[in-house]
Amino acid sequence: MAYAYDDQNIFAKILRGEIPNDTVLETEHTLAFRDIQPKAPVHVLVIPRGAYVNADHFANTASDAELADFQRVIGRICTGEGLCPDGEGGAGYRLISNAGTHGVQEVPHYHVHILGGRNMGRMVDSD
């Protein structure tokens, strides 16, 4: 499977430090920063540092270290933002990852949205 990665996408530029971002957490393989147009009181984007287009590209080709690091960052963000519905005050959150045309993906660098701080409503519009 050939994945074409556009290294001029906005998140590639953020990773290269060409445009600023509001970083929440960074690790060897992963960067998390606040969405520039937040859709909820908490809206954090988690991206791998590697050149992956979307979730299936990442899941199919990233190293175990990259995959594990990415998941750990999601956990740390949910904890750090007080979102975990674990009996300690967090009320939950939603993870979203859009891919391709039907997923209406805007930025072609893999990212997971972490949304919380309010009731996120039903998962998908039915119409």
- Rounded Cα distance between 57 and 98, Å, is 13
Cα atoms in the Cβ-side hemisphere of radius 13 Å centred on 121:
5
Q: Which residue has the tokens 């080709």?
A: 61
- Rounded Cα distance between 10 and 51, Å, is 12
Binding to ligand 5GP by CB under 6 A, coded x per residue (else -) over 46-85, reads ----------------------------------------
DSSP state of 32: E
Binding to ligand 5GP by CB under 6 A, coded x per residue (else -) over 96-125, reads --x------xxx------------------
Residue 9, interface with ligand 5GP (CB under 6 A)?
no
**Interface with ligand 5GP by CB under 6 A: which residues?**
10, 21, 33, 35-37, 98, 105-107
